[in-house]
Amino acid sequence: MNTALDRDESNDQPLLLALRALKLGDLLVAVPALRGLRRAFPEHRILYAAPAWVAEALDLVGDIHHLPTPGLDHPLTVPRGAVDIAVNLHGNGPESRLRIGELQARRVVAHAGPGVSGPPWVTGLPERERWTRLLNWHGIDADPLDYRLNRPAVPSPRPGATVIHVGAAYGSRLWPVERFADVAVELTAAGHHIVLTGSSSERGRAEETAALARLKGANLDDGLLAGRQGLAEFAATVAEARLVVSADTGAAHLASAYERPSVVLFGPAPVEEWGPPPGPHVVLTAVELRRGDVFSSDPDPALMAVSVRDVVEAVERLGC
């Protein structure tokens, strides 16, 4: 795993720092921009400033180092003036602009803001396009379709399984476990081998889903992977999956990155910004009902409008 902390002080490579102190899905939609930066500045050491637990995923991007950054509340842990090129991939708000400005980098790549030249911020753009558009404006070539990841170094524990990812970062994206269980039952009857994934904090949801599915005859005894996998193992499980069923979260972005068929359940986030790229992916939502409060503890009505039958029919359309 590459981290900024393993840097040899005698290393005289110029530093490029890309700030995106966000979650796994946010990293995955920024991959095209990171790939563009890697090609454009081969002599630079690239630091990706993001929370510590994202570090393992950077190995899947390739030759990007990690700077542990829990958020924007404190200055970045690099000396002022040490960064040659600072890239704001976080957003265009005052907090991220402040952190980038504190670096006193020779060159700043960012959207237009006080004292900074760049393209105007445009709402409604797909995230992959937003960041490649930023780089293109600054004369850096980047392709929004360059989003595929390297294969994990570890094998999948269940190659060919259908992944049902029961978790999400916020309550607004949590589809009911009863519906996940019914999907597991339906897909098991259709010949799918189901595994349930999620973080350690989502283990309880996975256990509840499995218990409900068992009551209806599905055998998921060897498929409870939630809370038992590191990020590399999780990525490997998705990379070799038959199918992925997930809310709009990291699992769905991994399915896109590995071109695995997926059914993605959308609630508060706009599909036009966060939806999957072209490929074997079906998005399910009810746009007219979307409340749009990402940080709500209650599932968004657009998500709750998606039924078990909707998911099963989407799987059938994918030919899985």
pLDDT in tens, 135-162: 999 999 999 999 999 999 999 999 999 9
Look up residue 15 and give its two tokens.
């530093």
* pTM, two decimal places: 0.91
Using 50, 70 and 90 to split pLDDT, how confident is the model at 2? very low
Q: What pLDDT sits at residue 316?
A: 97
Same domain, 126 and 200: no
Q: What pLDDT sits at residue 228?
A: 94
- Euclidean distance between CA atoms 54 and 20, whole angstroms: 11
In a domain, 194, yes or no: yes
Same domain, 105 and 253: no
Using 50, 70 and 90 to split pLDDT, how confident is the model at 3? very low
Same domain, 308 and 168: yes
In a domain, 145, yes or no: no
Give the tens place of pLDDT for each residue, 281-305: 999 999 999 999 999 999 999 999 9
Same domain, 242 and 171: yes
**Based on the structure, what is the number of domains in the chain?**
2
Same domain, 79 and 212: no
Same domain, 132 and 197: no
Taking a C-beta distance cutoff of 8 angstroms, is the pair 54, 83 a contact? no
Give the tens place of pLDDT for each residue, 239-289: 999 999 999 999 999 999 999 999 999 999 999 999 999 999 999 999 999
Judged by average pLDDT, the poorest of 7-21, 221-235, 302-316 is 7-21
pLDDT above 70 coverage of the chain, percent? 97
| Domain interval for residue 179 | 162-318
Look up residue 154 and give its two tokens.
């570890």
Same domain, 190 and 289: yes
- Euclidean distance between CA atoms 207 and 214, whole angstroms: 11
pLDDT at 7 over 60: no
List of residues 6+ apart from 139 with CB closer than 8 A: none
Q: What pLDDT sits at residue 13?
A: 94
Give the tens place of pLDDT for each residue, 8-49: 444 789 999 999 999 999 999 999 999 999 999 999 999 999
Q: Where is the domain boundary, 104, 137, 170?
A: 137
Q: What pLDDT sits at residue 222?
A: 82
In a domain, 150, yes or no: no
Q: Per residue in 139-170, is it b (16+ CB within 10 Å) or e — as a string?
A: ebebebeebebeebeeebbbeebbbbbbbbbb
Same domain, 172 and 281: yes
Q: What pLDDT sits at residue 12?
A: 86
Residue found under tokens 């994202």: 54
Give the tens place of pLDDT for each residue, 18-28: 999 999 999 99
Neighbours of 283 (CB within 10 A): 17
Q: What pLDDT sits at residue 246?
A: 98
Question: DSSP letter string over 260-282?
Answer: --EEEE-SSS-HHHHS--SSSEE
Q: What CATH number does residue 14 fall under?
A: 3.40.50.2000
Radius of gyration of the chain (CA): 20
Same domain, 263 and 310: yes
Q: What pLDDT sits at residue 6?
A: 44
In a domain, 143, yes or no: no
* Residue ranges of E strands in 162-212: 162-165, 194-197
Look up residue 167 and give its two tokens.
């978790």
* Residue ranges of E strands in 89-169: 107-109, 162-165
Same domain, 123 and 166: no
Same domain, 173 and 121: no
Give the tens place of pLDDT for each residue, 158-189: 999 999 999 998 999 999 999 999 999 999 99
In a domain, 155, yes or no: no
Return the sign of the alpha-carbon dihedral for residues 17, 23, 24, 27. negative
Same domain, 171 and 225: yes
pLDDT above 90 coverage of the chain, percent? 92
Taking a C-beta distance cutoff of 8 angstroms, is the pair 147, 36 a contact? no
Q: What pLDDT sits at residue 280?
A: 97
In a domain, 153, yes or no: no
In a domain, 62, yes or no: yes
